Amino acid sequence: MFEVILPDGNKIESEISENWLSFIKRVIGEGLAKAAVAVSINDKIVDVTAEVESGNMSVITMKMPEGVAIMRHSASHIMADAVQKLFPGTKVTIGPSIENGFYYDFDSPHRFSVDDFEAIEKKMSEIVKGRFPFMRKVVTKEAAIELFTKMGENYKVEIIEDLGEPFVSLYYHGDFVDLCRGPHVPNTGFIKAFKLMSVAGAYWRGDENRNMLQRIYATAFPNKESLDEYLKMLEEAKERDHRKLGADLDLFTFSENVGGGLVLWTPNGGIVRMVIENFWRKQHVRNGYNLVFTPHIGRSLLWETSGHLGFYKDGMYNPMDIDGEDYYVKPMNCPFHVMLYKRKKWSYREFPFRWAELGTVYRYEKSGTLNGLKRVRGFTQDDAHLFCRLDQLEDEIKRVLDFSLFMLKSFEFESFKLFLSTRPKEYVGEIEVWNRAEGALKDVLEASGLPWEIQEGDGAFYGPKIDINITDSIGRLWQLSTVQVDFNLPERFDISYVGEDGQEHRPIMLHRALLGSIERFFGVLIEHFKGAFPVWLAPVQVAVLPVSEKHAETADKFIQKLVETGIRVKLDDRNEKVGYKIREWSVQKVPYIVVIGDNEADLKTITVRKRGGEQETFTTEDFLAKLNSENFNGVYY
């Protein structure tokens, strides 16, 4: 006898021995049975061929993220099958689903390239059309090792030996077998639309001392329309790639002589960064923050106390010897802010404290992970740390969330999704304080009216957090803002305040970032605007082009008016045709181009070429008013 509780609360009792697919057909209907990819039973996802058991059950289809992930992982098995059929001697390793797709790592005598993709995709299509069932078989560890040893699959043998489990599961489709926990789609015919994307190198188990494997990336979607839409987005993303646009618009650069992952900001990029940082500082002052500045290095004792040398040393650079002591360049700003707190005794009346810093930090990233501005080794954190009493926590979190949304909306991001990461299995701090902190975060999220999800157990060991994801102009999600509760550092550094009762109490510490890092945010911003920054952010807001030398004086007078108003302007008096200069400045995505010729001699009216090619005639005063309005973007900065 078993009892299955359906999502609507209905309970089904039965003595029939059957699998989930049969159960769904019998109890719910043929339509859902055809769409079923897997089943969730008591929050565990299993194959539809698994035996029915008691508990809370729901059907997973390809309309759900979990269903798409299962389908993509199943597609990785099909790709591995196709590759081994086409390229004998290829050994398989792992093939997980990832965001927007999947990959498989191969050890093969054949050197894969995009030229192989058509043949692999054709073979995959044959396997898909075969509608081979995915069949699960549980065997002993010893039996699995014997099987894969005979097959010459030494990577699978190594994985099994490291599992430390007496039994493992294998998945078969056709004549292909793989070590896998599953689950999988019912048969290969569920893979409707797929495409191989790229080839890259990947060390076995991420260890640069192990074999270099070949990783084939691919993607799969529930239907061709979704795949086509995704591929179209990728093409648009290529055109928006901040690395390409950064070079085209001369915003930033890197130098081998300086070192990988260390950004050199050009005058154009420097202007945009200055505007962003000025806006950031002034908004922080308006929102009750105090700005602080801390050193780039600190004694090893600081990092030992904070715990960084214990759990983050791989991300830190080797120490430098100063006066016989080890000093480290900082990977984070937080220990310095804690030391600012410790400089004196505080009273409960003085809380909260909001200390913000644009602090440059340095973290070791492997060269293969560096990615333009989005993954660098030296970057400036949009950082702040708040110290408050427990009874102030909810108000402070709400203030941070409101401030984050204001900042992001100021840069024309309008779509947000929030995530709450809760207590993991291992944590520090008192359970009552954790519960209250998580409750405060939930209350703020509920009140926000924005879509949000709980990521159970995904919080750091030292506290729960909220992450704010933005959607950019082509629909991609980026995680930028974070507010993180920290019960660890106050304990490690033994910070306290004198409460109303005259006793010492531990304050609550919040880590908070609004934009993330300036470098990564700038990269996202370039791609969001496709390099066509709004007027208030554009490095050059107006390009002035005199037709000939006789118009130079008029152009200078016009430029002087712009400069006095605070507009960033460039004079282009090169001995080139006006049409050529217009094209060049258009490529640079300058918001406005003004040509000064005979018709503009008195500067009463001017013809302005807008970004995109449209022209409009303004009086000089009206154009200046328009510029000033757009330059301040409707917000104080």
Would you please indicate which residues are annotated as catalytic (active-site) residues? 334, 363, 381, 383, 385, 465, 511
Are 563 and 569 contacting, i.e. CB atoms less than 8 angstroms apart?
A: yes
Q: Compute the C-alpha angle 205/121/215, nearest 5°.
A: 15
| Tokens representing residue 511 in the block | 């880590």
Please state, in angstroms and as integers, the Cα–Cα distance from residue 249 to each residue in 375, 388, 411, following that order.
20, 44, 19
Q: Which of 431, 411, 414, 413 is nearest to 422 (CA)?
A: 431
Dist. CA 559–CA 600, nearest whole Å: 13
Dist. CA 491–CA 299, nearest whole Å: 20
Q: Which of 472, 576, 489 is nearest to 524 (CA)?
A: 472
Q: Which of 397, 419, 424 is nearest to 508 (CA)?
A: 397
Please state, in angstroms and as integers, the Cα–Cα distance from residue 140 to each residue in 89, 147, 163, 164, 176, following that order.
26, 11, 12, 11, 19
Pairing assessment for the beta strands 569-571 and 542-546 based on DSSP bridges: parallel
Dist. CA 66–CA 60, nearest whole Å: 7
- Burial of residue 569 (CB within 10 Å: 0-12, 13-18, 19+) is buried
Please state, in angstroms and as integers, the Cα–Cα distance from residue 132 to each residue in 32, 69, 173, 241, following that order.
20, 19, 5, 40
Q: Which of 531, 542, 504, 549 is nearest to 589 (CA)?
A: 531
Dist. CA 608–CA 592, nearest whole Å: 6
Dist. CA 179–CA 76, nearest whole Å: 13
Are 380 and 276 contacting, i.e. CB atoms less than 8 angstroms apart?
A: no
Chain centroid to Cα 46, Å, comes to: 29
Query: Which residue spans within 128-192 are E strands per DSSP?
Result: 135-140, 167-173, 176-179
- Nearest 5°: phi and psi at 475? 90, 10
Cα dihedral 166→167→168→173 (10° resolution)? 150
Dist. CA 394–CA 390, nearest whole Å: 8
